[in-house]
Amino acid sequence: MKAKYAIQELARLNPDEEIVIAYWDRNWFINNFDRHITDKEWEEITDKCETVLEYAGLGEDMHAAAVEALDELAEQENNQ
């Protein structure tokens, strides 16, 4: 995703709203591969990540974390 599209999406939100967000930029890949990544390589990486990466697992992890947080909060409230 181009940063400008992410910025457009974020601009629609209330600035005080809490959100969960994650992103990886070219520098993250450069640091992890410990070498320069060309524009052509970066285009291939981003295309592959957008078409092949399985986000369902990430969504399941986020759901599990939310359930855990809600359960912990409910337990705290019940113990008061």
Name the residue with higher pLDDT: 52 or 1. 1
* Model confidence band, residue 9 (pLDDT cutoffs 50, 70, 90): very high
Name the residue with higher pLDDT: 75 or 54. 75
Q: How many domains does the chain have?
A: 1
What is the rounded CA–CA span in Å between residue 74 and residue 68?
A: 10
What is the rounded CA–CA span in Å between residue 7 and residue 60?
A: 25
pLDDT on residue 13: 97
User: Tens digits of per-residue pLDDT, 16-62?
Assistant: 999 988 888 999 999 999 999 999 999 999 988 888 777 767 878 88
